[in-house]
A and B are shown apart, each in its own frame.
Chain A
Amino acid sequence: MSLAPGTAPRRRLDGLAEADIAQATGLYQVLREDGSCDEGELGPELTPLKLLEIYRGMLVIRVMDERLLALQRQGRIGFYGEARGQEASVIGSAAATRPDDWILPALREAGAGIFRGMPLSAYIAQIFGTGDDPCKGRQMPCHPGWRGANYVPMSSCIATQLPHAVGVAWGMKIEGKGRVCLGYIGDGGTSEEDFHVAMNFAGVYQLPLVIVCQNNQWAISTPQQRQTAAETIALKGLGYGLPSFRCDGNDVLAVYSTVAAAVARARAGGGASFVETLTYRMGAHSSSDDPTRYRDEGITEAWKQKDPLLRMRRYLEHKRLLDPARDAELAVEIEAEVRAAVAAQEAAPPPPVESIIEDVFAEPPAHLREQLATYLSERE
């Protein structure tokens, strides 16, 4: 990785080096599938504690998703979108941030919010849409947001969050506290105009911004080849003058190292970067989807061998930081926490009806107060 903070020059077409193209077309990897790795690639900040923290963050996603998907199948929650298979992309990138950095997520980054301190109970309250939801039950499941973790709730619209990330990064730039904004997108989202707008603004303004594309190769039923004719998604960044990198999105240490270098560069005033993490959507798009209708699940089976948790677990076992017993204990701990939060939310009341007119504006104007009063009088 040749990405020294603060040193990258503005990219010019005639200045594009072989190395720039290689970084955007190759696949940077740190952990081999057997869990071995070249330790020289790892920064000194990846202490045993941090490595275990990263692994736990990944495990939280896996355990939580399994549990919540099961609840959806039982009809206890209305909808669920899991991130199975993408845990390395989510946590590897989030682990490269500081608490005062911001995250503008796409659909599958809730684990990043939780990793950064969003309580599991808040996430699950959002899924149930109860009065405990910090977002007051305003959106369907899997649209969490938690100001305490600077984790901004997404809309269901695709790519709209990236221009927001540009604006947040602009605020950070003029504030000058060395904060960085991470904006996430999926492979499907790279076809949207807001992606191109944001990439263009990011390149022009040299902002403290890292745009991370989790390429899970499927946008519901549409494969990557139907989304773009570009050889890789990372290549798109070069056209916008952004240093662009492609890494193995199932290798949490490759994702971490790539994003950490981009974050460091952004923090030092070196401008925005673009990172593609190549991963695979092991599950369905959501609980409303059935991938057997449109894709060869034999390929999905093959990707199971590249399971990001398996690879990180093997690495930690090599390093004697984890053993199967401790791993099982961790999963039990997490599942107990999930089950307790679910039980609490199944018993929690919905938001009060009066809250329906709150937060449209800072103060409900007269016409909204009148609509609520009419509703309440008719209900009696």
Chain B
Amino acid sequence: MPVMNIIQAVNDALRIEMRRDQRVVVLGEDVGKFGGVFRATSGLFEEFGPDRVIDTPLAEAGIIGSAVGMALYGLRPVPEIQFADFIYPAYDQIVNELAKFRYRSGGQYPAPVVIRTPYGGGIRGGHYHSQSPEAYFVHTPGLKVVIPSNPYDAKGLLLSAMRGEDPVIFMEPKRVYRAARGEVPEGDYTVPLGQAKIVREGKGITVLAYGAMLHTVIEAAAKAAEAGIDAEVIDLRTLLPLDLETVLTSVRKTGRVCIVHEAPRTCGYGAELAALIAEKALTSLEAPIERVAGFDTPFPYTLENEYLPSPERVMASMRRAVEFQ
């Protein structure tokens, strides 16, 4: 089985789907001849031509707005926003148009657009090449939000997203774009949206993460094991729809929870997870729910390693939860 990184897996998924379905088009800044600033669309322009692999003017609202129109007409657009930090000019198009079209038209005009965008810190990118804006989109009814952590899931989830009937925000963890390598089957397969994955089984504490943070958590869990803490690590993979059953089953077993994300803490996705766990599994809890998150600050350049949850911070948090009496 070939070994790929996340960029190659995304590229492979796009190529497979563009070959299978003539309606799929890719559009964005520099995605055509150049193949994207991260090379995720490399080679697609040569194979599918300028009608289906579209270099756009530099305007995110135009990229997403025209993708919405394409979807209304029956195409399956997969726009790329070069960095998630630049998605806000298209925020109105995403929140007020894309997310609401099926609903406001009474089902007459669905808009199945899959927006790919690299997100997250740890690449020396400062405020505007590091953000994790997933919570805004989870909060918007009508959008699905998917964040893979590894190449196998990236390919399988992207193929599922492109074959679905709903708008999807597909956030790619750029810090591990090349670092996360793994075996990826050739050809077609899908990973369904809404299924979390237990990455490490354990009995002592449930640790919930997604995207780049999953790798931080795995490192922390290995260290924790040496200290006698038996962590169960769950890769959520899809934030909406959430695989709540897998989360709750684990929490009922361990009684302790640590939630990790790099987005700011206040009203982050962890807040929703904590609320759901408190609502549905309060009597199983043996300690306060722990959250490890970015600071409630703009993303800093020089102090990014201090801002981002580290294995040490995750470890400390797990220890607090496990030692709570």
Contact = CB atoms under 8 A, between A and B. Distances in A.
A302 interface: no
A367 B165 CA distance: 18
Contact of B102 (A200, A359, A366, A367): A359
A361 B59 contact: no
Nearest to A169: B69
Contact of A157 (B92, B102, B164, B240): B92
Contacts of B51: 173-174
A136 B70 contact: no
Interface in A171-202: 171-174, 193-194, 197-198, 200-201
Given A153-B105, A164-B69, A367 B61 contact: no
Given A160-B92, A200-B57, A134 B73 contact: no
B73 A153 contact: no
Contact of A152 (B62, B72, B240): B72
Interface in B84-105: 89, 92-93, 96-97, 100, 102-105
Interface stretch (A16-24, A38-46, A89-97, A139-147): A139-147
Given A135-B106, A152-B105, A160-B97, A193 B61 contact: yes
Contact of B77 (A136, A152, A167, A197): A167
Given A200-B59, A359-B102, A365-B194, A152 B109 contact: yes
A245 interface: no
A362 interface: yes
A237 interface: no
Given A138-B103, A194-B61, A157 B74 contact: no
Contacts of B103: 138, 359-360
A225 to B, nearest CB: 26
Interface residues of B, number: 48
Nearest to B64: A163
Contacts of A198: 62, 65-66
A170 interface: yes
B75 interface: yes
Contacts of A197: 57, 59, 61-62, 65
A102 B62 CA distance: 19
A167 B96 CA distance: 17
Interface string B225-241: 00000000000000011
B211 interface: no
A170 B57 contact: no
Chain B CB within 10 A, most for which of A143, A166, A361:
A361
Contacts of A200: 57, 59, 62
Chain B CB within 10 A, most for which of A146, A164, A359:
A164
A271 to B, nearest CB: 15
Nearest to B96: A157
B17 interface: no
A168 B241 contact: no
Chain B CB within 10 A, most for which of A138, A155, A197, A366:
A197
Nearest to A174: B51
Given A155-B96, A160-B96, A367-B241, A167 B72 contact: yes
B102 A171 contact: no
Contacts of A104: 69
Interface in A196-239: 197-198, 200-201, 204
A214 B271 CA distance: 47
Interface of A: 102, 104, 133-136, 138-139, 143, 145-147, 152-153, 155, 157, 160, 162-174, 193-194, 197-198, 200-201, 204, 358-362, 365-367
Interface of B: 25, 51-52, 54, 56-57, 59, 61-62, 64-75, 77, 89, 92-93, 96-97, 100, 102-110, 141-142, 144, 164-166, 194, 240-242, 244
19 contacts: A145-B105, A147-B105, A160-B97, A163-B61, A163-B65, A164-B65, A165-B69, A168-B73, A170-B70, A171-B75, A172-B73, A174-B52, A197-B65, A198-B62, A359-B107, A362-B166, A366-B241, A367-B241, A367-B242
